[in-house]
Amino acid sequence: MSNSLRNTKDGDKQYRSERRDFMFAGMALATAAMIPQGAAAAPARKPATIHRRKLGSLEVSAIGLGCMSMTSGTYNPPRSKAEMIPVIRGAVERGVTLFDTAEIYGPYTDEELVGEALAPVRDQVVIATKFGFDIRDGQWSIGRRTSRPHDIRRAVEGSLKHLRTDYIDLLYQHRVDLAVPIEDVAGTVKALIQEGKVKHFGLSEASPATIRRAHAVHPVTALQSQYSLIERVHENGALDTCAELGIGFVAYCPLGRAFLTDYFNEWSRFAEADRRSGVQFFKPEALAANMRLLALVREWAQRKGATPAQFSLAWLLAEKPWIVPIPGTTRLHHLEENLGAADLKITPGELAEFRTALSGIALQGARTSESALRDE
């Protein structure tokens, strides 16, 4: 969208309408849905170059595609395969090689979507999926985990079927199961790798101590955890551990569950069905306080000729050469906006300047730094 369009009342309505496609249909926004802009937002950069990064020894695109929201109904109504297959294949055409899913997304429907969409180009892409939750009658909960060896094998066989493939490029333990020693988990995945059913082993939201224990049994290729400008908890230990052991870091929710897209304001409210309703930094008092962060991001985005979302992703890429964000979207134009972040360069001096300003902002509702030192 052009600057001139965004500066008009009709243009503002159109912009809100486009972004609303990304949101859950039941979300309620109080009063104005958009944050008043002090200056026109920069138009989204279009991706110009295909960038690559390494997660351990695994080469992937610098920005991947998180597919969770496509069929799971997490942040928006579930989309049909007819709608989402062109988005996934459009990502391939634009150079994306890393696609992220999990058996619990749906459950199973997201893996089925990804498998069908990527079947024609299976040897050109990296498919990551996850195990670790006990799914009963199509339902699961965050507290009901299972990583016993036979459950891992059952999950892998199911994922292979849903994904229409005979191997999984990157297999994560979705969350640490405290009832099962991580050495047993790593040993089981190691055996699956030896059998050719899995190529790489990953963990998600694991503590530095757990990462080390798993890595001692079999090399961990990637740690996938939440990381963004509003959730920086993993700067306390996990990132240092990854750097030391040569492990890549895959950042999910890199746009802070859409907070950093500049869609919300301090009056935004969420229906109970919207997952953001339970996120602490979206609570009314926290949201109002966190507008300082969004103002800083908006300022720097304008300075760099980018959108707030692009600057937020570019910041992650600038932090470490082995960080790969996986923003999710159901819209091709949002995908192109996200991929344009890989062309945005933030110099070391700019990064230090931004960090100084960032350190002066007290966020509300973000996880505490101590939480990164324990398994979530």
Q: Is 313 inside any structural domain?
A: no
pTM score, whole prediction: 0.88
Number of domains in the chain: 1
For the cut 70, the answer to whether the pLDDT of residue 358 exceeds it is yes
CATH code for position 224 = 3.20.20.100
Instruction: Kindly give, in sequence order, each residue whose CB lies less than 8 Å from that of residue 341, ignoring residues fewer than 6 positions away.
Output: 45, 63, 306, 309, 310, 311, 312, 313, 314, 317
The full length of the chain comes to: 376
**If pLDDT is split at 50, 70 and 90, which confidence band does 41 have?**
low
Give tens-digit pLDDT for 186-234: 999 999 999 999 999 999 999 999 999 999 999 999 999 999 999 998 8
Catalytic one of 105, 108, 172, 263: 105
Range of the domain at 323: 50-259+319-346
Q: What pLDDT, on the 0 to 100 scale, is given for residue 63?
A: 98
Q: Is residue 306 part of a domain?
A: no
Domain-embedded: residue 134: yes
pLDDT grade, residue 367 (50/70/90)?
confident
Catalytic annotation present for 105:
yes
Residue 190 lies inside a defined structural domain of this protein = yes
Determine, yes or no, domain membership for 60.
Answer: yes
3-state secondary structure the chain: CCHHHHCCHHHHHHHHHHHHCCCCCCCCECCCCCCCCCCCCCCCCCCCCCCEEEECCEEEECCCEECHHHHCCCCCCCCCHHHHHHHHHHHHHCCCCEEECCCCCCCCHHHHHHHHHHHHHHHHCEEEEEECECCECCECCCCCECCCHHHHHHHHHHHHHHCCCCCEEEEEECCCCCCCCHHHHHHHHHHHHHCCCEEEEEEECCCHHHHHHHHHHCCCCEEEEECCCCCCHHHCCHHHHHHHHCCEEEEECCCCCCHHHCCCCCCECCCCCCHHHHCHHHCHHHHHHHHHHHHHHHHHHHHCCCCHHHHHHHHHHHHCCCEEECCECCCHHHHHHHHHHHHCCCCHHHHHHHHHHHHCCCCCCCCCHHHHHCCC
Q: What is the pLDDT of residue 109?
A: 96
What percent of the chain clears pLDDT 90, i.e. is strictly above it? 77
Higher pLDDT, 343 or 23: 343
Task: Kindly state whether residue 19 falls inside one of the protein's structural domains.
Answer: no
∠ CA 341-342-345, rounded to 5° = 85
Q: Is residue 9 part of a domain?
A: no
- The pLDDT score that the predictor gives to residue 22 is 38
On the question of pLDDT at 33 being above 80, the answer is: no
| Listed residue (205, 250, 202, 240) closest to 367, CA to CA | 205
Residue 15 placed within a domain? no
pLDDT at 10 over 60: no
| 52-100 pLDDT tens trace | 999 999 999 999 999 999 998 777 889 999 999 999 999 999 999 999 9
Give the pLDDT of residue 76. Answer: 80
Residue 276 burial by Cβ neighbours in a 10 Å radius (0-12, 13-18, 19+): buried
- pLDDT value of residue 376: 76
